[in-house]
Amino acid sequence: MKDILQELEDRRDQARLGGGEKRIASQHAKGKLTARERIELLLDEDSFEEFDMFVAHRCTDFGMEKERPAGDGVVTGWGTINGRMVYVFSQDFTVFGGSLSETHAQKICKIMDMAVQNGAPVIGINDSGGARIQEGVASLGGYADVFQRNVLASGVVPQISVIMGPCAGGAVYSPAMTDFIFMVKDTSYMFVTGPDVVKTVTNEVVTAEELGGASTHARKSSVADAAFENDVEALTEVRRLVDFLPLNNRQKPPVRPFFDDPSRIDESLGTLIPDNANTPYDMKELILKLADEGDFYEIQEEFAKNILTGFIRLEGSTVGVVANQPMVLAGCLDIDSSRKAARFVRFCDAFEIPILTLVDVPGFLPGTVQEYGGVIKHGAKLLFAYGEATVPKVTLITRKAYGGAYDVMASKHLRGDFNYAWPTAEIAVMGAKGATEILYRSEIGDAEKIAARAQDYEDRFANPFVAAEKGFVDEVIMPQSSRKRICRAFASLRGKSLQNPWKKHDNIPL
């Protein structure tokens, strides 16, 4: 009996070594942690329960039958993050470069199936040379099996991808179908074809980092939601993110203890809006002042900075925030910001996370670049996302809400539940100057007359009261009491129940 127990321990020790000490040292030398070290950092201490530790590949080509390491290059199982259950897979680069074989894929699929069945998020830690070359099509099939599960799990359980090494070829498409992608600077990259192929096909010379590094994807492509300095930081931030999220689409987001008075009055908000309507101010300041304990978890901070997206808590409950940022491009909507916000709104709606929208938007960005790029379709994504969302929606217009962008930004007409405005709000088809130049084109030569016309227009429309008269704004509120009013609004919506007409699925403009 003792021998049998000892054999189990020996086998476990062997499996834990993955590709061996030399390769572990090489992994460390690159500034990367091993698959198991990452799981340890991600999960609560001693909470990890492993599956399939002894699974080995079945390949017999290229002499592979002689090397069958236990685990086959991926560590899978479940554990907890601050006491809440998650499933996790972590690819082990020390075993065949973390490459994906048929059995490696089966291990991932097993925990994905369990996650959907049992209603818990899936966190995938990717560090892999892609399809296991020796296995050929079996490995491609394995990828597709994972892709199919990504699709079916989408909107059922949160899926988070952490890219902590190479991720190339078709391998990038599994992360791309998950809800959030985190990358690590300098040690991770994602691309469909690497620099060598790029050079051959297009003659472009580009490094892996430039082509698909963390900064590239967090700033330029928006494939990544965030880029972190190292493995430890990335995993700590995943833990923080998970704390905001419900475990599945049947549960409400978690409610955590809070130490911030929901009725807190913030006098400084009375002077947040500058006297000059064209002077920018930092919308993040408002978000931080509204949030419990000033805690804002920003998503895609580095991309389309003219719109802010992320999570806060109000009275301990998660709320998704979408806010125009007047500091960048005057807060206007464009292709990138519409895409960014639309995806965020849809995530919140899928997982029953209420949405707070803070509006200061002068309209859509004009120009050929935007029109040729399809701003109509991309802007429609955000419009569509807000229009279909059935979660509680509270909107606050702080200053400008002009034109189509007024409609888009969770207006009353898109089933906003509470639509508040500050007294500084200006709700109109466009700014006074533009409006008078169109309405009084024949008077353009007469500066005095035009100025008087603009003043007239401003007096009539540069306020929230025309909209309030029509009931499009439910209430004009004092900036100082915004937190209190918004907390009460969301509290009153906890029992909200709203259903869209039955359909197979919608046809959001893609």
- Which residues of this chain interact with ligand HXC, rule CB under 6 A? 23, 96-97, 99, 129-133, 140, 143, 166, 168-171
Alpha-carbon distance of 450 to 429, in angstroms, equals 18
Instruction: Write down the least CB distance from residue 56 to ligand HXC, Å.
Output: 15
Looking at 155, 194, 404, 434, which residue is catalytic?
Answer: 404
Choose among 125, 124, 178: nearest CA to 350: 178
Residue of 119, 155, 169, 373 with catalytic role = 169
Annotated active-site residue in 405, 425, 454, 489? 405
Q: What single letter denotes the amino acid at residue 5? A: L
Q: How far apart are CB 103 and ligand HXC at their closest, in Å?
A: 14
Determine how many CB atoms are found less than 10 A away from the CB of residue 136: 13
What is the nearest approach in angstroms of ligand HXC to the Cβ of residue 37? 18
Closest distance to ligand HXC from the beta carbon of 57 (Å): 11
The answer to whether residues 95 and 61 touch, using CB atoms and an 8 Å cutoff, is no
- Comparing CB distances to ligand HXC, the nearer of 78 and 96 is 96
* Measured CA distances, 360 to 286, 413, 458 (Å): 12, 17, 17
Return the number of other C-beta atoms located less than 10 Å from residue 374's C-beta. Answer: 12
Q: Provide φ and ψ at 176, rounded to 5°.
A: -60, -25
Contact 389, 283 (CB under 8 A): no
> Is residue 170 flagged as an active site residue?
yes
Distance in Å, CB of 150 to ligand HXC, minimum:
12
Q: How far apart are the C-alpha atoms of 272 and 422, rounded to whole Å? A: 11
Q: Which is nearer to ligand HXC, 164 or 269 (CB)?
A: 164
- State which residue, 132 or 484, has the beta carbon closest to ligand HXC: 132
431 is catalytic: no
Considering only CA atoms, which of 164, 123, 162, 161 is closest in space to residue 33?
164
Is 410 annotated as catalytic?
no
**Least CB distance from residue 93 to ligand HXC, whole Å?**
7
Residue 183: is it exposed, middle or buried by C-beta count within 10 angstroms (0-12/13-18/19+)? Answer: buried
Give the nearest distance from C-beta 224 to ligand HXC in angstroms.
Answer: 19
The C-alpha atoms of residue 367 and residue 372 are separated, in whole angstroms, by 9
* 333: β partners: 364
Residue with smaller CB distance to ligand HXC, 174 or 357: 174
Measured from the CB atom, the residue of 98 and 403 that comes closer to ligand HXC is 98
CA atoms within 13 A on the CB side of 65: 2
Q: Which among 155, 170, 270, 434 is annotated as catalytic?
A: 170
Nearer to ligand HXC among residue 133 and residue 451 (C-beta)? 133
Nearer to ligand HXC, 132 or 378 (CB): 132
> Which 3 state secondary structure label does DSSP give 402?
strand
CB of 70 to ligand HXC, least distance (A): 16
Which CB, 165 or 326, lies closer to ligand HXC?
165
CA torsion 141-147-149-153 (nearest 10°) is 180
Q: Helix, strand, or coil here: 160?
A: strand
In 119-254, alpha helices (H)? 137-153, 173-176, 195-202, 208-212, 214-215, 231-244
Active site includes 405? yes
Residues annotated as part of the active site? 169-170, 404-405
